[in-house]
Amino acid sequence: MPEPPPTAIVSLMSATATTRPRLVTPQFVLLGSAALAYFFADGLLVPSVPLYVTGPLAGDDVAVGLSVGAFSLSALLLRPWAGRLVDRRGRSIAMVGGAALFAASVAAYGFAEAVSVLVALRLFTGVGEAFFFVGAVTAMADLAPAERRGEAISLFSLSLYAGLAVGPPAGEAVVGSVGFGTVWLISAGAAVVAVLLTLRVGDTRGSASERSEAGGRLIHPAAVLPGLLLLALVWGMSGFLAFVPLYAVDLGLSGAGFVLFEFAAIVVLIRSIGARIPDRLGAARSVRISLLCTTIGLAIIGSRQTVPGLVFGTFVLGVGVALGTPAMIMLALQRAPAGERGAVMGTVSMSLDLALGLGPASFGVVAARTDRSVGFLVAALVAGAGLALATRRWTRRPATA
């Protein structure tokens, strides 16, 4: 068979390059910018709310827990309803309404003269979180070509990490210099910026036929397995983030700053430079690798009980977390019609709230009865259970991803 002429090879390469669907469009950038503004507003509250409770409101640790936890409770309960709204009425209305409610409730924090009032306002803030987050992630899935969805999720998640990285130190600085009232106003203002940017994003839903597929499900069956796997992943990560500052001191370090920086840097590096990895490996294979790395990383941290063990275990854990979330969302979305993406994201994202609450709580109980190293080992068992579930599921019926 004769070889094709060089011009034909060049033409073929050009055609291949041009057929790869575009991901980073002006609409995608606007959506990411809206998410960045929102998560910056959210990040400002991370240190500010506990300081406000123990300071001006003279609350104790229980009051701090109630004030912080109220946000997650209402977000958890409302995510399925947000998914239904997103499918029936569109992504933009959920994002705009959610960010606006977030802004209004945070602006009112300054009028809270009792912990009970602040807790009530935090419940409304959590409702805003549920609707904005589900709407934003669903819109991202609409804009992403199917073969680049993992890359899209990875890049989109950088908005969350950037906002939550810059927001907390900025919140502490503002509280220390000009007070809590200014923090609430800046946070509310950033949420308003998210509203304005969302209005420019517009409707991201596809054709009229796709919109007609929208159902009324609260819990989507396609998202149950990915949700359980995400729960197993984030359970260990949340315990790690909550207790590694104390564990680092147990091992003789002055603090966990380097370890936390290492973890964040690995996640950001893989989610940016390695954003295409989940697409190239496929959702199912990426999920298994993710849970395997998470299990091994937590087991190394808990079993070695040395500084090198902590550093190496954190590296392996970071790789697992970086790959896991995009792959699990991919897995859920590829099994659902376009008109039911909101219900899928509403169901999957419930796992985040559950894991962020149950992970540190269970770790704390184990650590109190034994020691902190055992807490990491138990978290590794949870991730290992997720790995066993994923392996059994795709061994019995191989996934196409």
> What is the chain's percent helix, strand, coil content, to nearest 5?
85, 0, 15
Contacts of 274 (CB under 8 A, 6+ apart): 154, 322
Task: Give me the pLDDT at residue 359, please.
Answer: 84
387 and 262 fall within a common domain: yes
Task: Give me the pLDDT at residue 11, please.
Answer: 45
In a domain, 208, yes or no: no
Task: Give me the pLDDT at residue 178, please.
Answer: 94
Q: Which of 78, 12, 60, 6 is nearest to 347 (CA)?
A: 78
187 and 320 fall within a common domain: no
153 and 116 fall within a common domain: yes
Give the C-alpha separation, 135 to 129, whole Å.
10
230 and 317 fall within a common domain: yes
71 and 184 fall within a common domain: yes
Structural domain of residue 79, as residue ranges?
A: 25-201
180 and 245 fall within a common domain: no
197 and 227 fall within a common domain: no
In a domain, 14, yes or no: no
Task: Classify residue 399 as exposed, middle or buried by CB count within 10 Å of its CB (0-12, 13-18, 19+).
Answer: middle
Task: Give me the pLDDT at residue 216, please.
Answer: 62
How many degrees, rounded to 5, is the angle at CA 61 between CA 353 and CA 161? Answer: 40
In a domain, 240, yes or no: yes
In a domain, 16, yes or no: no
370 and 263 fall within a common domain: yes
Report the chain's terminal Cα–Cα distance, integer Å. 34
Give the C-alpha separation, 47 to 213, whole Å.
42
193 and 322 fall within a common domain: no
In a domain, 325, yes or no: yes
Q: In 10 A of CB 75, how many CB atoms?
A: 26
Which one-letter DSSP state was computed for residue 55? T
164 and 238 fall within a common domain: no
Is residue 313 within 8 Å of 300, Cβ to Cβ? yes
Choose one of 201, 234, 251: the last residue of a domain: 201
Q: Which of 313, 303, 292, 301 is nearest to 386 (CA)?
A: 292
Give the C-alpha separation, 249 to 265, whole Å.
21
Q: Is the backbone of residue 234 left (phi > 0), alpha (psi -120 to 50) or beta?
A: alpha
Give the C-alpha separation, 251 to 147, whole Å.
44
Q: In 10 A of CB 234, how many CB atoms?
A: 26
Measured CA to CA in angstroms, residue 84 lies from 130, 163, 324, 350 at distances of 12, 27, 25, 14
Ranges of residues in the chain with a pLDDT under 50 are 1-3, 6, 8-18, 209, 212, 398-401
Rg of the chain (C-alpha set): 22
269 and 339 fall within a common domain: yes
CATH number of the domain to which 303 belongs: 1.20.1250.20
Q: Which residue do the tokens 């039911």 mark?
A: 340
156 and 228 fall within a common domain: no
In a domain, 333, yes or no: yes
Choose one of 133, 167, 201: the last residue of a domain: 201
In a domain, 116, yes or no: yes
Task: Give me the pLDDT at residue 363, please.
Answer: 84
Q: How many structural domains are present in the chain?
A: 2
In a domain, 91, yes or no: yes
